[in-house]
Amino acid sequence: MTTLAVAGATGHLGRLVLASLIERGAAPSDIVAIGRDVSKIADFAEQGVTVRAADYSDAASLDPALDGVDRLLLISGSEVGRRVAQHTNVVQAAKRAGVQFIAYTSAPHADTTSLALAPEHKATEQIIRDSGIPFALLRNNWYTESYLQVAEQAKYTGLIIASLGDGRIASASRRDYAEGAAVVLLSEGHEGATYEFSGDVAWDYDDLARVVSTIVEREVAYKRVSSKDHRKILTKAGLDMGTAGFVVTLDTNTREGALADATDTLSTLIGRPTTPLADGLASAYAEAMAARQQE
């Protein structure tokens, strides 16, 4: 029996990985789901998944969480600026526990890109390499669901404003990336692999505006602005200077091609095409609207 663990299981991606593992034949009793608020995965506990509470920042909580684990998916933490220390805690605990394989959700071309979010991922990749534990790096491009807020705002303004010019984004849905992670966790032969996971097609913001127009049922236009003007617009809308600067930097990265690399690596691994932008965003929007109606 091989015990499979998902660290960060209580987030959107983690829950989808758990579901995909089960859909692809893993016995729930062979799965360990690790997260801070385990109430969020109580439904998986009811299916027979072992649920363990742990926090990346609490090194002491990670040893019992990883006890008996053979293969681990380390889903990147969400706290920018704290992730290297947090991930170090997980990798060190994995080594103490005798974990035989780690898959890590990284960033596109983490070791060479200018992408603002990449340095912490690059550092984590090196920590994993230095640990001596066999590994695979899952360098996920952007999640299509990240553009849900853009769609919601455009419903009221009719505009998508950005400073990324004609930059393209090879996004895929969280479910696509989750299936890729599940395949890697379930099967052998991925040791030492670096996978550049992305959608099959890279799209630009004119494409996004057309898709959003259909979803929100009104005409939506993409308005290109300069980085300077974009920063002013964001701060006027209430963002602090640091956050506004970060958003503009990501747009600059996108304009320069940091997210444009569309490959068939993910679709080949999961055995189907990745979810098109229109389908992925429409599904996310419908789910968000349904959730709000239930509140």
Look at 99-103, 113-117, 140-144 and tell me which has the smallest mean pLDDT.
113-117
Mean pLDDT of the chain: 96
Confidence of residue 12 (pLDDT cuts 50, 70, 90): very high
Give the pLDDT score at 286.
Answer: 94
229 in a domain, yes or no? yes
Residues 68 and 124 in one domain: yes
Residues 215 and 80 in one domain: no
Give the pLDDT score at 17.
Answer: 98
Does the pLDDT value for residue 43 go beyond 90?
Answer: yes
Give the pLDDT score at 294.
Answer: 77
- pLDDT tens, 45-72? 999 999 999 999 999 999 999 999 999 9
CA distance 238 to 184: 42
Output the DSSP codes for the chain: ---EEEETTTSHHHHHHHHHHHHTT--GGGEEEEES-GGGGHHHHHTT-EEEE--TT-HHHHHHHHTT-SEEEEPPPS-TTTHHHHHHHHHHHHHHHT--EEEEEE-TTTTT---TTHHHHHHHHHHHHHHT--EEEEEE--BGGGGHHHHHHHHHHSEEEES-TT--B--B-HHHHHHHHHHHHHSSS-TTEEEEE--SS-B-HHHHHHHHHHHHTS--EEEE--HHHHHHHHHHTT--HHHHHHHHHHHHHHHTTTT----SHHHHHHTSPPPPHHHHHHHHHHHHHHHHHH-
Give the pLDDT score at 81.
Answer: 86
Residues 209 and 237 in one domain: yes
Range of the structural domain that residue 283 is part of: 143-171+199-260+275-295
Q: CA triplet 254, 74, 126: central angle to 5 degrees? A: 70
Residues 80 and 61 in one domain: yes
Residues 166 and 215 in one domain: yes
Residues 30 and 136 in one domain: yes
- pLDDT tens, 123-164? 999 999 999 999 999 999 999 999 999 999 999 999 999 999
Give the pLDDT score at 80.
Answer: 87
Task: List all residues 6 or more positions away from 202 whose beta carbon is below 8 Å from its beta carbon.
Answer: 168, 169, 170, 259, 260, 261, 262
Please say which residue of 140, 159, 183 terminates a domain.
140
Q: Are strands 31-35 and 193-197 parallel, antiparallel or unpaired?
A: unpaired
Give the pLDDT score at 218.
Answer: 96
Give the pLDDT score at 135.
Answer: 98
Does the pLDDT value for residue 293 go beyond 90?
Answer: no
Residues 291 and 246 in one domain: yes
Residues 159 and 105 in one domain: no
Q: What is the mean pLDDT of residues 211-239?
A: 96
45 in a domain, yes or no? yes
Does the pLDDT value for residue 295 go beyond 90?
Answer: no
Does the pLDDT value for residue 1 go beyond 90?
Answer: no
Give the pLDDT score at 258.
Answer: 97
111 in a domain, yes or no? yes
Q: Which of 131, 116, 276, 123 is nearest to 198 (CA)?
A: 276
269 in a domain, yes or no? no
Give the pLDDT score at 291.
Answer: 84
Q: CA triplet 54, 56, 57: central angle to 5 degrees? A: 110
Give the pLDDT score at 292.
Answer: 82
Confidence of residue 169 (pLDDT cuts 50, 70, 90): very high
Residues 148 and 279 in one domain: yes
